Copies of this chain bind each other. A is one copy, B any other.
Amino acid sequence: MKAVKEKIQALRDRMKDEKVEGCIVPSTDPHISEYPPKHWKTREWISGFTGSAGTVVVTLEKAGLWTDSRYFLQAENQLKGSGIELFKMDLPETPNISDWLASELSPGDSVGIEGSVFAASEALSLIGNFSKKGIKVRTDFAPYSQLWEDRPALPNHPAFILPECFSGKSCREKIKEVTEVLKKNNADKTILVGLDMIAWLFNIRGNDVTYNPVCLSYAVVSEKETVLFIRPEKLTEETAAYLREQGVVFADYEKINDYIRKIPAETRLLITPAKINYGLYATISENCAKVEVAIHPVDILKSTKNETEIAGIHNAMQKDGVAMVRFLMDLEKALASGEKVSEMTIAEKLLHYRSEQAFCAGESFGTIAGYGPHGAIVHYEATPESNVELFPEGILLVDSGAQYFDGTTDLTRTIALGPVSDEMKKDYTLVLKGHIALATACFPKETIGMQLDILARQFLWKNGTNYLHGTGHGVGYFLNVHEGPQNIRLNYNPATLELGMVTSNEPGLYRSGKYGIRIENLTLVVPYQTTEFGDFYAFETLTLCPIDLKLIDFSLMNQFEIDWLTDYHQKVYERLSPFLSEEEKNWVKNHI
């Protein structure tokens, strides 16, 4: 790991030159992406830690990496010999970054950050926290391009149009919806930075980020004009023609700062500080009024799917279900016949069956196939080093999904490959009971995910168990497999569950060193009933794939739960069977 040490030394030299005593290197990019293009994986480059979430902090003497429990093991391995200390987030004894850095620095010192890769909310909070301690924050400290010799270029794949037969609404209609919300919020203009928000609004997709079909761009929307900031070479003639016809004006990707600087005084700009980078935020003239909202209205419009999208998602679920059935049958046969199957071949098999389906555009994230103890590593992805062979015993956890032009899928099944223990069955059944309780929830309009979360956890909690990840995340439409604003978590998030939102339902349980269990379906918020007490909503389960019966302890299930499972499996069979061979149909019948 000499390379990392050298990089950090080079960074420290630059820190000394620029009189910066501490610096923070985050995981994100100017678009506040969860998964940034390689160009912006600065934290990965400097530390060698490849997990999706983590922040490196460097002082002239010390260096640390903060990451969450999903990555404790991986970070420990990857940081070996780097001189970077691992700080395990969420543990009571772990200091937060601001406190730790403040304790290492002295009043009068400076912390350097690259403002453009921090959310404005994040940067403002750092500035506030450090100023209390007499420490300055310099937001223009960005020596990485010079230090990072083989830094990957910005991705430059062409954008393509998602036809209206898939998107259900023209770009012009969507722009109109956005300008109407701006008016309601007493705002003139808004700046879009999130790549999925832009992809949704303009009906464009791209290949600039692995698994996320987005393309590098910014946008500014107002009643007068809607500008898409994108490199000209990314626009094919066809794409440009469609967008022009929809009333969109183009500007180069790099011109966004100039444009924002020149926004006329008195303009009321709608901003979500967590969804704009600090660089752009700081560029906004003081003569403009910032209308700050906690949730960007484009995120709400994007996540409340229209009828065409909902019909598409139903199709995508049927296709994904067929692929899953073929995969599960193939796996079962392979194990029975003694064929060598490993964690890594799972991903290959899945992609093979999915690719046979119409409009498949690849995986929606790296397949997680964890056998035995690997299942307990929540974000496990098999590598040639970790890969293990499967045997007809114990538990396999498979979390995977695909991108189709008519929808994004994400499901997890936990499968008994052979004999399983009573403890496994009990854990699995309690997870399943929670999954069913959430799937059958009814709730009034205005409910947020945090209020429902306990439904999925209640049986585990009664058994003194728990899982530390969220219960549900929003899912895009041929877009990011993780999208906002809504989610279902232990933590507070003010986003309400609205009709048409797609959210995962994925309780789990992880016995470290033993096995992992997770059962994940996607759900759609649908109307339930309207009474004198108001409007009530419910979930429709979208995912179509058998749930393994061999892992269930039926003595722990009540009749309501058993009926739900029977009905669900009946629906799976009815929806998938027209697309299955006789052998496949029989396999499903024997497994439900």
Residues of A that sit less than 8 Å from B by CB: 441-444, 450-455, 458, 461-462, 464-466, 490, 492, 494, 512, 528-534, 536, 558
Given A451-B450, A454-B454; A464-B558 close (CB under 8 Å):
no
Pick from A461, A492, A558 the residue with the most CB of B within 10 Å: A461
Residues in B with CB closer than 8 Å to A455 are 454, 458
Given A450-B451, A451-B453, A490-B451; A443-B461 close (CB under 8 Å):
yes
| Given A441-B454, A558-B558, 5 additional A-B pairs, CB 8 A | A444-B461, A455-B458, A464-B530, A464-B533, A512-B532
Which residue in B443, B451, B531 is a CB contact (below 8 Å) of A465? Answer: B531
Nearest chain B residue, comparing its CB with the CB of A559 = B558
**Count of this chain's copies in the oligomeric assembly:** 2
Question: Is A461 touching B442 in the complex (CB atoms < 8 A)?
Answer: yes
Could you pull out 20 A-B pairs where Cβ atoms are within 8 angstroms?
A: A441-B454, A441-B458, A441-B461, A442-B458, A442-B462, A443-B454, A444-B461, A450-B450, A451-B451, A451-B453, A451-B490, A461-B536, A464-B528, A464-B530, A464-B531, A464-B533, A464-B536, A465-B531, A466-B533, A466-B534
Nearest chain B residue, comparing its CB with the CB of A460 = B533
Residues in B with CB closer than 8 Å to A465 are 531, 533
Given A450-B450, A450-B451, A451-B451; A444-B458 close (CB under 8 Å):
no
Instruction: Tell me, in angstroms, the Cα distance from A71 to B53 when the chains sit together.
Output: 50
The 5 closest A-B CB pairs, nearest first, are A464-B531, A466-B533, A464-B529, A442-B461, A442-B462
Residues in B with CB closer than 8 Å to A444 are 461, 466
Instruction: Tell me, in angstroms, the Cα distance from A517 to B577 when the chains sit together.
Output: 49
Q: A528 to nearest B CB, angstroms?
A: 8
Residues in B with CB closer than 8 Å to A558 are 558
Instruction: Tell me, in angstroms, the Cα distance from A452 to B558 when the chains sit together.
Output: 22
Residues in B with CB closer than 8 Å to A528 are 464
Instruction: Tell me, in angstroms, the Cα distance from A492 to B493 when the chains sit together.
Output: 9
Residues in B with CB closer than 8 Å to A531 are 464-465
Instruction: Tell me, in angstroms, the Cα distance from A194 to B492 when the chains sit together.
Output: 27
Q: A517 to nearest B CB, angstroms?
A: 14
Residues in B with CB closer than 8 Å to A442 are 458, 461-462, 464
Instruction: Tell me, in angstroms, the Cα distance from A528 to B465 when the chains sit together.
Output: 12
Instruction: Tell me, in angstroms, the Cα distance from A536 to B444 when the chains sit together.
Output: 29
Residues in B with CB closer than 8 Å to A458 are 441-442, 455
Residues in B with CB closer than 8 Å to A454 are 441, 443, 451-452, 454-455
Instruction: Tell me, in angstroms, the Cα distance from A451 to B449 when the chains sit together.
Output: 10
Instruction: Tell me, in angstroms, the Cα distance from A450 to B466 when the chains sit together.
Output: 18
Instruction: Tell me, in angstroms, the Cα distance from A111 to B349 when the chains sit together.
Output: 69
Q: A445 to nearest B CB, angstroms?
A: 11
Residues in B with CB closer than 8 Å to A532 are 512
Instruction: Tell me, in angstroms, the Cα distance from A34 to B490 when the chains sit together.
Output: 30
Residues in B with CB closer than 8 Å to A534 are 466
Instruction: Tell me, in angstroms, the Cα distance from A453 to B443 when the chains sit together.
Output: 12
Q: A37 to nearest B CB, angstroms?
A: 35
Instruction: Tell me, in angstroms, the Cα distance from A441 to B462 when the chains sit together.
Output: 8
Q: A467 to nearest B CB, angstroms?
A: 9
Nearest chain B residue, comparing its CB with the CB of A529 = B464
Residues in B with CB closer than 8 Å to A464 are 442, 528-531, 533, 536
Nearest chain B residue, comparing its CB with the CB of A291 = B132
Q: A102 to nearest B CB, angstroms?
A: 12
Q: A316 to nearest B CB, angstroms?
A: 30
Instruction: Tell me, in angstroms, the Cα distance from A458 to B456 when the chains sit together.
Output: 13
Q: A512 to nearest B CB, angstroms?
A: 8
Instruction: Tell me, in angstroms, the Cα distance from A512 to B533 when the chains sit together.
Output: 11
Instruction: Tell me, in angstroms, the Cα distance from A458 to B494 when the chains sit together.
Output: 20
Nearest chain B residue, comparing its CB with the CB of A448 = B492
Q: A446 to nearest B CB, angstroms?
A: 8
Instruction: Tell me, in angstroms, the Cα distance from A160 to B401 when the chains sit together.
Output: 68
Instruction: Tell me, in angstroms, the Cα distance from A529 to B450 when the chains sit together.
Output: 23
Residues in B with CB closer than 8 Å to A494 are 492
Residues in B with CB closer than 8 Å to A466 are 444, 533-534
Q: A460 to nearest B CB, angstroms?
A: 8
Instruction: Tell me, in angstroms, the Cα distance from A580 to B443 when the chains sit together.
Output: 44
Q: A561 to nearest B CB, angstroms?
A: 12
Q: A462 to nearest B CB, angstroms?
A: 5
Instruction: Tell me, in angstroms, the Cα distance from A534 to B457 when the chains sit together.
Output: 14
Residues in B with CB closer than 8 Å to A529 are 464
Instruction: Tell me, in angstroms, the Cα distance from A490 to B451 when the chains sit together.
Output: 8
Residues in B with CB closer than 8 Å to A512 are 532
